[in-house]
Structure 1
Amino acid sequence: MQMSWTHQTLSRRRAVTAAAGLAAGALLPPAAAPGTVSAAAQGPDLATAAAYTNPVIWQDFADIDVIRVGDAFYASASTMHYSPGAPVLRSYDLVNWEIAGHSVPVLDFGAKYDLHGARGYVRGIWASSLAYRPSNRTFYWLGQIDFARTYVYTATAAEGPWNRLTTISTPYYDAGLLVDGDDTLYVAYGNTTISVAQLSPDGRTQVRTQQVFTTPSSVGTLEGSRFYKINGQYYIFLTRPANGQYILKSSSGPFGPYTMRQVFLDLRGPIPGGGVPHQGGLVQTQSGAWYYMAFVDAYPGGRMPALAPVTWTSDGWPVVQLVDGAWGTSYPRPAVPPPPRPVAPMTGVDTFDGPVLKPRWEWNHNPDNTKWSAGNGLTLRTATVTNDLYWARNTLTHRIQGPTSTATVQLDHSAMRDGDRAGLALLRDSSAWIGVRRDGGVPRLVMVNGLTMDGNWNTTNTGGEVASAAVSGSRVWLRATADIRPGTGRLGTFSYSTDGTTFTRLGPAFSLGNDWRFFMGYRFALFNHATQGLGGAVRVTRFDLSTP
């Protein structure tokens, strides 16, 4: 049964009064105050290490689950209605990350994810879990969809191919998957009421599920489970959205009883104007050091990963190491072996030189794969007849790099047909774009803003043209610059060029919305849709994401 939108948003982002009930086990006082990092406390390796800066990734990767397999670290994140879903990130030092692939190749959970008669905005891939099972050398991704059922995907390499292993009728909300030392699979899940399920040895079915904890009303909502076994103790890491982190601990097995401690509450984060780091995961380096990787609400850009070291009390509770009473903007780098190679950058140039898109790209809903191709550029054939960009299929998106970045595309518009609209957008529930519209056989450059959706993600305005310019020839360069720092700026600007060198501003600055309820941050988006009839096409020969 699906929650109402009101219940859904409250449960995911605001602390609400919990259902009546007692905690399963005694409620302990908060853990010792988070410590202040010192080189000595972190050991001789870290004492001489260079520093890193938070956020470690200034792109939108939320609800992080992070693991280590050998000398590589992997993380998964929420992607809602974008396809493919659940990106798998890889790092060798917890600081520099690349996108290796996606755990969910296509959102085949109903027609709304294809933009067929319905839309899946702010549905799809929510907080989910990534784990590695040494016994069969396999990665597992587990997550629930639409409060209906849980899906499990597996792969023997982070890049894939990922394949669906099973569906389970119990929807494991905000799940954390644990591979125990004896190879048993357990799942912690729930909102306010936290449960643990045991899966069959093959991971395909549920063997048992049991409620293990009820959040005290004095705490409010707890969700976002991450499940660990550390030194013989079972831990469920939980978030109080969107300003706190708590942990449950059991010395009696995965089904409890559990006691609870507050890890932190209302902690100042490392992004000015941003929120409290929360809803992430714990991971241990090869040398035994622990780190917590969480996200920071930093709209309009989204939810940005930040990393902090963790120490443990003598009685087995984690303590996040702080700097001047806050999550540090800088810490010593983790002491890890030298990486085998540099990771692939999340910025830079893409010329779409192969038949497969690089994993930095995600479609707005599932694409119509008969209407696009890559290799010698990206060809986007019109896939939808609509005057509403939010209904247009085959809109290809790229996360914005913070704090500010610029996307520049080279567009061949010679194959457009009358009524077609193609260009580069700043895409969210309030959007704007620069591009080419062809009418009466004549292409024209335009800047359009005022595209909006309401809180139920229905279109309320398809936008209006606010500036235009003549265009000649078959090629044009389009550029969008976005300042995604939280605060009063939050501006996007558009410009164009006929030679790729000299750019001319087009239209007024666009104010990027910073409401949290869409969850995902703004993205750069490439689109081509028809308003009269199908058959037109454009070719993007180059995409360049750069920072100042």
Structure 2
Amino acid sequence: MGMSWPHQQPNRRQALAAASGLVTGALLPLGGAGRAAASPAGLEEAALAAQYTNPVIWQDFADIDVIRVGATYYASASTMHYSPGAPVLRSYDLVNWEIAGHSVPVLDFGAKYDLNGARGYVRGVWASSLAYRPSNRTFYWLGQIDFARTYVYTATAAEGPWSRLTTIGTPYYDAGLLVDTDDTLYVAYGNTTISVAQLSPDGRSQVRTQQVFTTPSSVGTLEGSRFYRINGQYYIFLTRPANGQYVLKSSGGPFGPYTLRQVLLDLRGPVPGGGVPHQGGLVQTQGGAWYYLAFVDAYPGGRVPVLAPVTWTADGWPVVQLVNGAWGTSYPSPAVPAPPRQVTPMIGTDTFDGTALKPRWEWNHNPDNTRWSVGNGLTLRTATVTNDLYWARNTLTHRIQGPTSTATVQLDHSAMRNGDRAGLALLRDSSAWIGVRRDGDATRLVMTNGLTMDSSWNTTGTGSEVASASVTGSSVWLRATADIRPGAVRSATFSYSLDGTTFTRLGPAFPLGNDWRFFMGYRFALFNYATQALGGAVRVTRFDLSTP
């Protein structure tokens, strides 16, 4: 999935530093580009004016699988140790997306996902697959966990509820699930050695599995399978992490034999300073046009989705449409009917109303659900006694928005206890935060940096206080601004306000780590942990995420 361990990918580090690469094609006409009118003439006129810009989502959604069900598009992405996992994105035009829900409601794969004696950083939900089965009108999510086994979840609506259908003993690494035209379920999977499995009609077990392809040494690593049947032929779409895309094609059925062709290699991508578009999926619009939704390595922001039209050669090979020899920064918008409604923005304000968290939020590992609540703001009661944020449960995270974004929270700290730490962090394997410390019945505002992990995700630094300020009253406004432009300085700054209007900078700029090995990009994180004893609480009454 672009998610193998580094020793499995000796070319990954060099590849991530490279620019981007792709191709072009023509089984079906590409179609126009508007999205405002349903009639062909209206679509054609709108196409002349409407364009979209890459990345279509400036947030961290990697290893994308994308499907269309009727007039709606859905996509899934990797989330590693964050819970709930495997977000389901929804769109009506392939350009504007919202988060509908999560396919994996809780990471119940062992105590390490509860931060209970062990940790699941850079484990959990890797590249997985999302499919829809018309015969029972059901969505399927399939993915392997910890190289141990494969899990299948189902739902009748993308927003859920999702429930576990089964576990399968074979770990389908970087799986692509195909619902064939005769309703048979197949899975393509593997790293370098690519296999195809057939599932039982109920999807609960494996009927057979067979190796169908071995990657030539001249190509290197292939993984990230996506499985399609298009015009009677079978295709396994594969990525060469992190700079190439290839495709296998079979005219003889799902088990091959397969022929390999390069789709792209070292193609310049649409994010300046970012990587090569790769490891996504193909999808066809209602009008017959094809698109490739891939991701670009754009650390420290993560891996961000980019979209390009695809045509097909006369003999049935996909070709990505380029602009001046590169994946375009912009293209004509897909020609689709007017959306039934506007999608929910991925930025903006959350006052934590209602009875559940909105799907834009994910916890760092599974939360202790007895120690948080929403309704009248977000209440975080201390759930862990620790001096290490990486061990603290109930840290709530939100993807940062590129290329620059600012998170502002209003924090009521009146119920904190001695030894408690609460605030707003920029969370990754190198982290920093601004927040409130309660010690000896005194309350102080602090900026802390130097929270670090090693390459095995063990804590190597629990942070150092580098700036402080006095605080009065029961509420404080905390602000973090992240500049994640690839190739720029890539830093964050922190500030605070006692009145919600005038903000004061606190502490030095924090350099955002750019190593790919953590895979996930930076997140804004709301936290409250105890260093002495449980019992304290804070309330976040408002969260604002804005862009300049």
Q: Aligned AA for 1:502?
A: T
Matched-pair contact (CA < 8 Å) for 2:234–2:253 = yes
Residues 5, 248 of structure 1: alpha-carbon distance in 2 compared, 3 angstrom cutoff: closer
Aligned to 1:442: 442
**Residue 454 (str. 1) matches residue 451 (str. 2):** no
How many residues were matched structurally?
527
**Equivalent AA in structure 2 for residue 202 of structure 1:** D
Match of 1:116 in 2: 116
Number of the residue aligned with 1:149: 149
With over 3 angstroms needed to count, the CA separation of the structure-2 counterparts of 1:47 and 1:101, relative to structure 1, is closer
Segment of structure 1 superposing worse, 256-265 or 47-56: 47-56
Q: Note closer, same or farther for the CA distance 1:256–1:522 as it changes in structure 2 (3 Å cut).
A: same
Residue 252 (structure 2) aligns with: 252
Cα displacement string for residues 402-457 of structure 1 (whole angstroms, at most 9, x for unaligned residues): 00000000000000000000000000000000000000101100000010000000
SS at match of 2:141: strand
SS for the counterpart of 2:468 is strand
Aligned residues of 1:77 and 1:86 also touching (Cα < 8 A): yes
* Correspondence for 1:34: 23
* Cα distance in 1, alignment partners of residues 109 and 8 from structure 2: 19
1:285 equivalent in alignment to 2:278:
no
Q: Does 1:466 align with 2:466?
A: yes
**1:237 equivalent in structure 2:** 237
Report SS of the residue matched to 1:112.
helix
Alignment of 1:39-438 (within 5 A): 42-43=31-32, 45=44, 47-438=47-438
| CA displacement 1:251-310 (0-9 Å, x = unmatched) | 000000000000010000000000000000000000000000000000000000000000
Q: CA deviation at 1:7?
A: 3.0
Percent identical pairs in the alignment equals 87
Partner secondary structure for residue 370 of structure 1: helix
Contact 1:13 1:241 survives alignment (8 Å): no
CA shift, 1:48, in A, is 1.7
Q: 1:314 to 1:88 in 2, by over 3 A?
A: same
2:540 and 2:330 mapped to 1: Cα distance?
A: 39
Question: Residues 461 and 293 from structure 1, CA distance in 2 versus in 1: closer, same or farther, beyond 3 angstroms?
Answer: same
Q: Secondary structure at the match of 2:219?
A: coil
**Amino acid across the alignment from 1:320:** V
Shift of residue 486 of structure 1? 1.0
> 2:235, 2:249 within 8 Å by CA — same for their partners in 1?
yes
Instruction: Return the offset for 1:42.
Output: 4.5
Deviation of the 1:14 alpha carbon: 7.2
| Matching of residues 489-500 of structure 1 within 5 Å | 489-500=489-500
> Secondary structure, in 3 states, of the residue corresponding to 2:370?
coil
Taking structure 1 as reference, are residues 10 and 460 closer, same or farther at Cα in structure 2, changes over 3 Å only?
A: same
Moved more, 4-13 or 72-81: 4-13
Aligned 8 A contact 1:36 1:324 in 2: no
Query: Corresponding residue for 1:504?
Result: 504
| Structure 2 alignment gaps of length 5 or more | 16-21, 33-42
**Letter of the 2:425 counterpart:** A
Shift in Å at residue 246 of structure 1? 0.2
Contact 2:266 2:276 in 1 (8 A): yes
Using the TM superposition, give the Cα deviation of residue 34 of structure 1 relative to its aligned residue in structure 2, in angstroms: 3.1
**Contact 1:418 1:439 (C-alpha < 8 Å) held by counterparts:** yes
Shift of 1:10: 4.5
Deviation at 1:487, TM superposition (A): 1.4
**Helix, strand or coil at the partner of 1:63:** coil
Change in Cα spacing, 1:207 to 1:450, as seen in structure 2 (3 Å) is same
Distance 1:154 1:79 in 2: 18
8 Å CA contact retained: 1:36, 1:325: no
Alpha-carbon distance in 1 for matches of 2:269, 2:85: 27
Equivalent position SS for 2:366: coil
- The AA in structure 1 aligned to 2:423 is G
Question: RMSD over aligned Cα, in angstroms?
Answer: 1.6
2: CA distance, partners of 1:199 / 1:360: 33
Tell me by how many angstroms 1:355 deviates: 1.7
Contact (CA 8 Å) 2:47, 2:335: kept in 1 or not? no
Alpha-carbon contact 1:424-1:434 (below 8 Å) kept: yes
Q: Which amino acid aligns with 2:420?
A: D
Q: Distance in 2 between matches of 1:384 and 1:275?
A: 38
- Residues of 2 paired with 1:269 and 1:421: CA distance? 41
Alpha-carbon contact 1:246-1:260 (below 8 Å) kept? yes
In structure 2, distance between residues paired with 1:139 and 1:5:
29
- The SS at the match of 1:517 is helix
In structure 1, runs of 5+ residues without a counterpart are: 16-32
> Residues of 1 paired with 2:428 and 2:382: CA distance?
21
Aligned amino acid, residue 365 of structure 1: H
Name the counterpart of 2:40.
none
Residue 6 of structure 1: how far off its partner (Å): 4.5
**Paired amino acid for 2:186:** Y
Report the Cα distance in structure 2 between the residues aligned to 1:438 and 1:254, rounded to whole angstroms: 62
1:376 shift after superposition: 0.8
